[in-house]
Structure 1
């Protein structure tokens, strides 16, 4: 028998699922990376004496999830979300996510590069790896050099906002300048699109009518504001031939605008987030409407159904969580005025199980498309592919053994996020991770944390350029 390369770990007997291929295979791991995919049973003792073996029979073997949209310890207005890197990544791995992409968003007067450096230094507190989006609010003479330094250091995506005037909102010229600079540096603008002037007008009229509390949230940020802003930003991107990625698009109209621009050759990409694909605005009529305040807000059931159809049509590139770990007390403290409320929902742990259950099990989304939207494309569009988002030789051995038939009732008390609630409380889901490996190390198994050691790494993203998906 030919001498074979040493192996540390074999995951046997599962169905490997990548975005573009699935089949029965054993996954061979050495030094934290995938060495090879092998025919089932082709590697046996004594060839692999000393290797750890994990039985994946009856399971899908997925690449670890890549969550492209997480806010960890995020301060907005008077509120700071409650988790740190240790807590956020613990929740992530329990949900099958092994890489998060966080945001380094400056407060007024702070330097974007300095904020990114401070956030990057927290990565080693995590149980899994993380990358960063930077953020620019105002253009000045220092920004070009900051962007050069950030991209050289592996931070190639920059968040911008068209709303939240006086805090994080950037004007049109700043957006154009950052897009142009990043285009030449192999980076990309990542943008939150809601037309601030429309929202401000609607909210002022709502306040005058006494309709500005959490129960009225859906009406305070209308769908029209999102579509109007998306159209404007697409025009800017098209005018300078720059790529652009739209976060948390919540309406079919917004997604369609991006799809049509892509048809014209614009490198434009849609991200949806789990709560916009699963929940609807009926939540604001419930006993805790403040728990569901997010931006954009939850939309009507009709809009949610149409947005889900865009996932099935292949028009949604990625599905993130937009994880913001506030608790009920923070939200209740200003439930009377959504303009002052902390926006966002906890979701890094529930993103993959909820989407698998609602879209794959209930609505027939192919599991390969699930992997594409929750693992592969987030890695591609953040300069992390093929290190992340795929099970292939040379990739990090971030592996998730997924039981596609296991049923679970989601309860906040069973989850690991640093909050007292989940927006999916009581939801019955089918499919969940049973074993999660990070760099070849079993970290979670059957609901137990096996390895609590923080070994998270900050990931340097590669320049995007031609590596962007078509």
Structure 2
């Protein structure tokens, strides 16, 4: 019927990073076409979902996922069909994966093209980061081709000697190229020499099992690496994004750099907000094998405070889907076991619960509100920092990626009821708030009271903009077209 929209989310509290209002969200052709004041009549639609008493927020953007990733002898167990469905179950409608070379003969461009092919099975939208391990004369041309494909960031590891680690010369040269190409440098910051030395000392003392993981990767190693990388970023003028920051010192170093005018960003992960190093003396310490490891309760509390006060810019899952058989196989030697946690599905409730708890402890909120801050961390800032068009905001012209949830509803995590292609969750048994009740991705209702509705492999590859180009366009208030706008559909 003429004038009838595909979908209306009616009577919800529509929350963006900078605003909230009671409104009806009108969806047509995969885009938000209007946000109508709730005092007005509900627009006509093929389907209407009543969101009364609930929040409506932009679909989540998880900027740090590892899907179908091979590292040495280990391969994560999910594929894009599984990981993207789990993301949708968890309120995330766009994931960013990494084209990390699987072996020394695979080039950055080959690794990215491999992931692009695998991503054809995705149920949600996908963007990619490149990765560089070793510099050679072909790297500049490869980075140019990646940028032409819409892959505008490159990750480098400051540790993992002999596998994924990039040396300082490589980091500096890649940063220079990313400045030239208006891209963003992603960094895993842990000081390799410190970690190798500390790990060897523990191995010599026979303390190399999973129970000692947190002792082999000290906080100082993370902060020393952040300090060095910030110096390289300042020298080259490169925008830099630090993944999975786990200490207040690391976050504060980035904040200090930003105060000096550097384009630097802090990401943390849900597990660093709610889990501490006591897990390594628990019955199942192998559930928590990740790098950096969990920190002391005092450190976790300090990171959570910074998560609430705006010092942290994004929250990402660092999703890596191993199972317990893989985790247990070499739990006797942390140098041999796979590190990484499943988390793309639980990112929303863990992060929301941690933020709400930290928010309640704050004496002042500087005029900010809890839901707005959550939207910024969960969707708006990941879209802005990663130059993803048409995402992270509920407004006309933006992609119709929407989540309806009740901030007060609590559920208990049940590993067996999750959908990430593994047999455990590090959050099993925890009571969390902020679970999605309805999820709309690209205008399709994929989760509602009747369960999950698999849309099939409809996820689109998102071509990202240049870092400064997108920042400047967003800063002027100009409309940033959605993917659908770009493709004319």
Alignment match, 2:470: 467
Indicate the larger mover: 425-434 or 278-287: 425-434
Q: Matched residue of 1:254: which SS? A: helix
Looking at structure 2, the residues matched to 266 and 227 of structure 1 have their Cα atoms a distance apart, in angstroms, of: 17
Alignment match, 2:388: 384
Asked whether 1:431 is paired with 2:434, we answer yes
Alpha-carbon displacement from aligned partner over 1:178-214 (angstroms, at most 9, x marks no partner): 1111111110110001010000000000000011100
Alignment match, 1:35: 33
1:231 to 188, 205, 227: 227
Indicate the larger mover: 218-227 or 442-451: 442-451
Asked whether 1:271 is paired with 2:267, we answer yes
Matches within 5 A, 1:353-432: 353-360=349-356, 363-364=359-360, 366-385=370-389, 387-432=390-435
Alignment match, 1:350: 346
1:14 Cα deviation from its structure 2 partner: 0.4
Asked whether 1:137 is paired with 2:141, we answer no
Matches within 5 A, 1:36-75: 36-40=34-38, 42-44=40-42, 48=44, 51-75=46-70
Contact preservation (8 Å) 1:12, 1:26: yes
Looking at structure 1, the residues matched to 48 and 162 of structure 2 have their Cα atoms a distance apart, in angstroms, of: 55
Asked whether 1:24 is paired with 2:19, we answer no
Indicate the larger mover: 427-436 or 255-264: 427-436
Asked whether 1:310 is paired with 2:271, we answer no
> How many residue pairs end up in the alignment?
464
TM-score (norm 2): 0.92
Looking at structure 2, the residues matched to 259 and 431 of structure 1 have their Cα atoms a distance apart, in angstroms, of: 28
Alignment match, 1:119: 115
Q: Matched residue of 1:405: which SS? A: coil
Alpha-carbon displacement from aligned partner over 1:357-384 (angstroms, at most 9, x marks no partner): 2222563371111110110111111111
Contact preservation (8 Å) 1:361, 1:430: no
Looking at structure 2, the residues matched to 144 and 466 of structure 1 have their Cα atoms a distance apart, in angstroms, of: 20
1:26 Cα deviation from its structure 2 partner: 0.5
Looking at structure 2, the residues matched to 160 and 56 of structure 1 have their Cα atoms a distance apart, in angstroms, of: 42
Contact preservation (8 Å) 2:10, 2:52: yes
Q: Matched residue of 1:122: which SS? A: helix
Looking at structure 2, the residues matched to 4 and 367 of structure 1 have their Cα atoms a distance apart, in angstroms, of: 36
2:154 to 153, 158, 165: 158
Matches within 5 A, 1:179-198: 179-198=175-194
1:445 to 445, 448, 454: 448
1:348 Cα deviation from its structure 2 partner: 0.3
Deviating 4+ runs (over 6 angstroms): none
Looking at structure 1, the residues matched to 397 and 161 of structure 2 have their Cα atoms a distance apart, in angstroms, of: 45
Matches within 5 A, 1:213-252: 213-252=209-248
Alignment match, 2:478: none
Looking at structure 1, the residues matched to 48 and 357 of structure 2 have their Cα atoms a distance apart, in angstroms, of: 29
Contact preservation (8 Å) 1:63, 1:375: yes
Contact preservation (8 Å) 2:348, 2:434: no
Looking at structure 2, the residues matched to 165 and 451 of structure 1 have their Cα atoms a distance apart, in angstroms, of: 41
Q: Which runs of 5+ in 2 are unaligned?
A: 361-368, 476-489
Contact preservation (8 Å) 1:26, 1:41: no
Contact preservation (8 Å) 2:359, 2:370: no
Looking at structure 1, the residues matched to 455 and 2 of structure 2 have their Cα atoms a distance apart, in angstroms, of: 33
Alpha-carbon displacement from aligned partner over 1:218-262 (angstroms, at most 9, x marks no partner): 001111110111000000000111100000010000011111011
Aligned CA-pair RMSD: 1.6
Alpha-carbon displacement from aligned partner over 1:129-188 (angstroms, at most 9, x marks no partner): 110011001111100000111011100010000100111111111101111111111101
Alignment match, 1:335: 331
Looking at structure 2, the residues matched to 332 and 358 of structure 1 have their Cα atoms a distance apart, in angstroms, of: 29
1:452 Cα deviation from its structure 2 partner: 3.9
Contact preservation (8 Å) 2:97, 2:127: yes
1:77 Cα deviation from its structure 2 partner: 2.1
Looking at structure 2, the residues matched to 134 and 276 of structure 1 have their Cα atoms a distance apart, in angstroms, of: 25
1:447 Cα deviation from its structure 2 partner: 6.6
2:198 to 202, 206, 213: 202
TM-score (norm 1): 0.96
Looking at structure 2, the residues matched to 439 and 4 of structure 1 have their Cα atoms a distance apart, in angstroms, of: 21
Contact preservation (8 Å) 1:12, 1:55: yes
